[in-house]
Copies of this chain bind each other. A is one copy, B any other.
């Protein structure tokens, strides 16, 4: 049922992205509720809830891809938070970004690292 995909997705979203994810979804609701629904149902309900890969590996993959693509800074920030939320250490996340200097481009790695710096500052400001 759709309801169930949505409910499973919302639960996953909250577990992974916390407040940052909720804010993105809330903001999308105003302009295009169906895109918000698709992200929750498909992205989090269908994909992220699959048991084939642990959440830590999923966030390593997400941080790697978004750092490499280099044109999705807001989503990268969400997933840098998510990576910390699901148990990646600061060192591991920095290392994934650093590794991207060899697969994507140095500028992508630099911009990814500055994005992480800001995420860490925001999180430490919250405590």
Q: Taking beta carbons and an 8 Å cutoff, which residues of A are in contact with B?
A: 1, 24, 27-28, 30-32, 34-35, 38-39, 42-43, 46-48, 50, 52-53, 57-58, 60-72, 74-75, 91-92, 94-111, 113-114, 116-117, 120
Q: How many copies of the chain does the oligomer comprise? A: 6
Report which of B27, B53, B57, B70 forms a contact with A72, defined as CB distance below 8 A: B70
Complex: how many Å from CA A24 to CA B117? Answer: 13
A97 / chain B contacts, CB cutoff of 8 Å: 32, 35
17 contacts between A and B (CB under 8 A): A31-B94, A31-B120, A32-B113, A34-B50, A39-B110, A50-B95, A57-B60, A57-B96, A60-B61, A62-B64, A65-B68, A66-B107, A68-B69, A69-B71, A69-B104, A70-B71, A75-B110
Complex: how many Å from CA A53 to CA B89? Answer: 10
Report which of B42, B96, B107, B114 forms a contact with A103, defined as CB distance below 8 A: B107
A28 touches B105 (CB 8 A): no
A35 touches B104 (CB 8 A): no
